[in-house]
Amino acid sequence: MHSALRRPPTVTPLLVAVLGLLSMSSSIAMDTYLPALPDVASDLGTTPMLVQVTLTAFFVGQALGQLILGPMSDRYGRWRPLLVGSVIFVAAGVGAALAPNIWLLIALRTAQGFGAAAGPVIGRAVVADLATGARAARLFGILMMLFGIAPVIAPIIGGPLAEWGGWRATMWGIVVISVIALISVLIVPESLPAENRRVIPGRAIAGDFLDLLRIRPYLISTLLLAASFGVITAWLAASSFVLQEYFGLSPTGYSLSFAVIFLGFLLAGFANTLLLRRFLPVHILHGSMLVLVASVALLVLFLAIDALPLWLLLLLATVSCGMVAPISANATAIGIGAVPSNRAGSASALMGALETLIPASVIPVLGMFGSTPAPLVIAFAICAMVCLGLDFALRAAPGVRLRGSAA
């Protein structure tokens, strides 16, 4: 059997890097593909709205994967479900690269999302197995920072691939990444001992999820995570058409602008790991929320007075998307930290599924309103206001630590 199962689990730089890679792979599967969206529409003879459904399909598959693989990891340990998901990720990617029509592409992107879910959901559970409190928040922050690297590098790869070989070339690029992720699974140790595993009948899983939602800090943190990722999802769904069709950027130009946006995400994630040495997660979350609301308010203002050039849109979108890194890292730490450690897999699964499904529901709607910046900015504003309300609710929730040191 896999030798890592016999090693006592410890948090090492190599393990953090591998968990980061597994989390990144799901983001790469989404972001490498974005510069090729207009090419998918022309090559398969379909509409932009149906092409955007391939994004929704990936998110839906990812949500289902988390809901299934997360509880499986509580029952069978972390490593086996991680391996199963990684194999599905590779196989579905090969199928998607060969898809002859939009409907089969949608189906295979759903399967690809299902497999890609294993990395983020089980990675969070492994961290929860091995760390608690501020240390867990720092580890989640590091994972989020590594996760933020993917949107920086993926479109830089995807843009030239799309110009060279069309959307199918970007799909083959995703396959290469998924194979690397599959190989890296061999490094991950089993972090959940057999005596701590939970045997939950299939019919009881829904009840287990409902029990988790009764834990108020967990529920609010999960909804906050979903609302903050709505900002990222809106950018993923609309930016390719807005920047390429409305502002006239090439696929490579779009890729570079996309990388700048998520460089802000990466830098904010790095700043979060430093701030956690001095401040509690809830305080960093609150400060990040105020910055998010301010940047989105400026977007709304400049859009309303018809003074939103490309450079200003990119600047304010960089700040807005960047704030999602500290918000999501600290909301994750607070939410999963509020549940028993042997339920971390299920807690991570439900959190990840709602984080994925709720924002994904707006993607087809954005596709119905053309390529102007207005729907994108409105989506940002709605997400920011929901986040702000949930932030204040979280600070008032029982069990959320508001005072003391970060150590």
For residue 202, tell me if it sits in a domain.
no
**Amino acid letter at 338?**
A
Model pTM above 0.95: no
3-state secondary structure of 45: coil
Beta carbons of 137 and 333 less than 8 angstroms apart: yes
Low-confidence ranges of the chain (pLDDT < 50): 1-6, 402-407
For residue 217, tell me if it sits in a domain.
yes
Domain of residue 111: give its range: 11-187+213-396
Beta carbons of 142 and 13 less than 8 angstroms apart: no
Beta carbons of 86 and 119 less than 8 angstroms apart: yes
pLDDT in tens, 138-182: 787 778 777 767 766 777 788 788 888 888 999 999 999 999 999
pLDDT in tens, 85-134: 999 999 999 999 999 999 999 999 999 999 999 988 888 888 878 877 66
CA proximity to 385, closest of 200, 222, 231: 231
- CB neighbour list of residue 8: distance below 8 Å, 6 or more residues apart: 189
> What is d(CA 122, CA 135) in angstroms, rounded to the nearest whole number?
18
- CB neighbour list of residue 203: distance below 8 Å, 6 or more residues apart: none
CA proximity to 191, closest of 1, 3, 4: 4
Beta carbons of 122 and 143 less than 8 angstroms apart: no
Give the N- to C-terminal CA distance of the chain in Å, as an integer.
38
For residue 329, tell me if it sits in a domain.
yes
For residue 67, what are its two tokens?
């809901």
Structure confidence at residue 102 (pLDDT): 92
For residue 328, tell me if it sits in a domain.
yes
For residue 3, tell me if it sits in a domain.
no
Q: At how many degrees (to 10) do helices 374-396 and 216-241 cross?
A: 170
For residue 391, what are its two tokens?
């932030």
Structure confidence at residue 5 (pLDDT): 42
CA proximity to 19, closest of 123, 96, 101: 123
Residue 397: exposure state from Cβ atoms within 10 A (0-12, 13-18, ≥19): middle
For residue 43, tell me if it sits in a domain.
yes
**Amino acid letter at 362?**
V
For residue 93, tell me if it sits in a domain.
yes
Structure confidence at residue 405 (pLDDT): 47
CA 383 and chain centroid, separation: 15
Opening angle at CA 160, ends 154 and 165, nearest 5: 110
Structure confidence at residue 112 (pLDDT): 96
For residue 263, what are its two tokens?
């460089």
CA proximity to 269, closest of 387, 153, 141: 141
C-alpha dihedral (189, 192, 193, 197), degrees to nearest 10: -150
Beta carbons of 64 and 354 less than 8 angstroms apart: no
Q: At how many degrees (to 10) do helices 118-130 and 344-360 cross?
A: 140
What's the CATH number where 23 sits? 1.20.1250.20
> What is d(CA 113, CA 203) in angstroms, rounded to the nearest whole number?
24
Report the domain count for the chain. Answer: 1
CA proximity to 147, closest of 259, 21, 237: 21
CA proximity to 300, closest of 244, 241, 375: 375
Beta carbons of 74 and 208 less than 8 angstroms apart: no
For residue 204, tell me if it sits in a domain.
no
What is the dihedral sign for C-alpha 166, 168, 170, 172? negative
> What is d(CA 345, CA 78) in angstroms, rounded to the nearest whole number?
8
CA proximity to 138, closest of 337, 288, 277: 277
> What is d(CA 342, CA 339) in angstroms, rounded to the nearest whole number?
8
